[in-house]
Structure 1
């Protein structure tokens, strides 16, 4: 059926528009498709990484149950190297730090904690790494270790970890015999814990013991 004059004009306009903007339109479409493909590829990669990391983490747990310390530590090392962006890497490193500490290897334990404190993808795990590293350094004692712990605790606390930060600062003062300063930090931590419903009762009980040791709440 022949086109009437108006339809022919519309078709000619469309052809002219396509000829003029064809490259731009194709470029935009290609870019959108690329972004879509890249997003789906990224999601697949993340899921794949999490799956593989989970398997390696299970291997570590199994090795711990069997008492195979070397294989457990190797799994933690592999998670750091291959799957640093997953939550399994910092979890494994925190466990490996405890295994190393129990074996009397303070240097290796602190190395795992430093990795978590500096490289964990999640802020919460970084905060745990910093707090546990500060504690390990205070347990070790000595001017250098205490100075490093001081530097850690001078950093801005991760949101939600303020009470624990203040408690560790109190520990830092207590190690050096500065009981009055320790009590001040413990009291500040206590007030924050009283307002928070997220921390278990055990956390309050432990802090109460520390407070009683330096003069109590009142």
Structure 2
């Protein structure tokens, strides 16, 4: 009898516990199933989104590989680039697309448009190395435009990493464009010091350095001033 009452009491306790907690148990199960379904749906969405972005980028690459584009093809390439930015931001494809469009615009002579694409990569990329690539290309575009202050500004970075030698070489080009022979010489020497084979073209950088005036030779303006003072 005591054993029977003990079992009855246990059943009653279970009923009471279920009455108090059953709704929470059911809610937990439902939530767990919902999370699992939601996670699977999210994974499917991410994969599908990446596939769609990849398909668009493949179209863009195919157009650019053709070389010179007619107006309609260029417009198509620009449209794809805008769609990548609008619908597939924070994926590798919108940034790679922007770099590709920058090259397309440079080839066509649209340097401001190229700069805008490169600035987009610098501002939005989560890939530090990709952002540095964009900085180097932007500096070259600004140098080509004669906007030397903007070219210098594009190279400002707290961590140049493996690109230090390339940045130094480009700073030398900018200094040379300013007529700052001493600054160019220092920058080229820095590029040779920091650059390993394959990082910069050491032979080409050395040629740039050799083409500069001998440091013992006065610059043209200095020489003229010396002649005036002695005459």
TM-score (norm 1): 0.74
Change (3 A) 1:47 1:140: same
Matched, 1:62 2:62: yes
1:213 positional shift? 2.5
Aligned to 1:119: 124
- How far apart, CA to CA, are the structure 1 residues paired with 2:3 and 2:109? 90
Change (3 A) 1:15 1:34: same
Aligned to 2:110: 105
- How far apart, CA to CA, are the structure 2 residues paired with 1:190 and 1:96? 31
Aligned to 2:177: 175
Cα RMSD (Å): 3.3
1:33 positional shift? 7.1
CA contact (8 A) 1:84 1:121 kept: no
1:133 positional shift? 0.6
Could you report, residue by residue, the CA deviation over 1:158-202 in whole angstroms, capped at 9, with x for unpaired residues?
Answer: 4322222222222221111112211212222222213xxxx6276
Aligned to 2:151: 149
> Could you tell me which of 184, 187, 211 is aligned with 1:185?
187
CA contact (8 A) 2:172 2:188 kept: yes
- 3-state SS of paired residue (2:155): helix
Matched, 1:203 2:201: yes
1:134 positional shift? 0.9
Aligned length: 207
CA contact (8 A) 1:131 1:165 kept: yes
Change (3 A) 1:41 1:112: same
Aligned to 2:217: none
Aligned to 2:211: 213
Segments of structure 1 that go 5 or more residues without pairing to the other structure are none
Segments of structure 2 that go 5 or more residues without pairing to the other structure are 215-231
Specify the structure having the higher radius of gyration (Cα).
Answer: 2
Aligned to 1:50: 50
- How far apart, CA to CA, are the structure 2 residues paired with 1:190 and 1:9? 87
1:88 positional shift? 1.7
